[in-house]
Amino acid sequence: MSAPVPVIVVTGFLGAGKTTFINRLLDSGQRRIAAIVNDFGAINVDVELIEGQVDAVIGLDNGCICCSLQGDLLRALKQVLAHDPEAIVIEASGVSDPRGIVQTLADPVLWADLRLDCTLCLIDAEDIAETPERMDDPVWRAQVQGSDFAFLSKAGDGDASALRVRIGAGFRVRVFDTRDALPMDVLFSGAGGTAAHDPAGIVQDASRFASLNWESAAPLPFNGFQRLMEDLAPALYRAKGFVSLIERPGAPLLFQMVGRRATFEPAAKPVAGCRLVLIGARETFDVEMARGRLTALAEGDAP
Ligand SMILES: Nc1nc2c(ncn2[C@@H]2O[C@H](COP(=O)(O)OP(=O)(O)OP(=O)(O)O)[C@@H](O)[C@H]2O)c(=O)[nH]1
């Protein structure tokens, strides 16, 4: 019987930097890694941002692998095992509780083939500075509490030591900084798997989030799109996807927005039209209004 394949579960709130972290891990080239990528929305953007750097990649979308997609996760794990990877990394959706994923990994069908090396959580330092109440969010807390290690992202040039100490002490978790070299020896040491994995308290609260998956064959005007995203930003946790602009024919862009911070960069692959995912709080994000405004923009009807 071959040795169990090490698994790393990467969790963290919407837009915290999970895909960015995983791409770094894959770029390290130290192992043949297969990836399973779960996007909360029905359009899996992350899988396209990872594809090409990895041995095998499977996308699971439109739900959470910690709850509604647990069966799909099991099937995906069996599929990637067929590629004989040296390690598997699972990117949870930004609203997942990692304990639901760990529960799946312990399934009798798989446990002999896999070994959970660690669960880690990305924490967006910029988001905590701007929205300190995030640390009281039950989903955010479940992600940190269910992780063996935390990684602070987006600390910029600032001194993140106070936040590291606060999180480390508050959650009894070892905290790293993504500005430093990846601690590969720690990630794959098998020292993880000790986080609180009591399935009794799993936070399965995806219903408080609302998402819009919007696609259009037509390009959008840059100014109108930017204005619309500025209007929607207060109600959104996250927006991402590919946008074709009228002003830049044949040069689609990858659009990313976390909180109010938006970026555009050239898409790595050709993309026709637009494909966007917008995620907000159910009570404040008016999905139909956003859909209507995006469609009006694409049809040239926007004011
Ligand atoms: N400045 C800075 N930006 C970062 C860092 N990590 C991620 N980002 C940016 O933050 C945005 C979201 O990053 P992702 O890696 O896609 O975040 P995610 O957690 O995978 O997002 P979801 O899967 O949608 O929850 C992107 O625009 C990234 O370029 C970081 O350490 N520093």
Residue 199's pLDDT is 59
Ligand 1 and 98: CB distance under 6 A? no
* Dist. CA 204 → ligand 1 center (Å): 23
How far is 267 from 278, CA to CA, in rounded Å?
18
**Which residue is closest in CA terms to ligand 1's atom 12?**
15
CATH architecture of 207-298: 2-Layer Sandwich (3.30)
Residue 125's pLDDT is 97
Q: Is there a contact between 98 and 119 (Cβ–Cβ < 8 Å)?
A: yes
Q: Count how many residues are written for the chain.
A: 303
Give the number of the atom of ligand 1 that is nearest the alpha carbon of residue 153.
31
- Domain ranges for the chain, please list them: 5-204, 207-298
ipTM confidence score: 0.99
Residue 115's pLDDT is 92
Ligand 1 and 144: CB distance under 6 A? no
Give the number of the atom of ligand 1 that is nearest the alpha carbon of residue 279.
24
Mean pLDDT by 10 residues, the chain (303 residues): 89 96 89 90 81 76 78 91 93 92 87 92 96 95 94 94 95 95 90 63 77 96 96 96 94 94 93 94 95 95 69
Residue 193's pLDDT is 64
Listed in sequence order, the residues at least 6 apart from 157 whose beta carbon sits closer than 8 Å to its beta carbon are none
Mutate to test the pocket of ligand 1, among 9, 10, 20, 182 (most ligand atoms within 8 A of CB): 20
Residue 120's pLDDT is 96
176: tokens are 């790293």
Ligand 1 and 20: CB distance under 6 A? yes
Nearest CA-CA partner of 222 in 251, 259, 202, 198? 251
**Which residue is closest in CA terms to ligand 1's atom 21?**
15
**Which residue is closest in CA terms to ligand 1's atom 22?**
15
* Dist. CA 203 → ligand 1 center (Å): 23
**Domain 5-204 is in which class?**
alpha beta
Q: How far is CA 170 from the centre of its chain?
A: 23
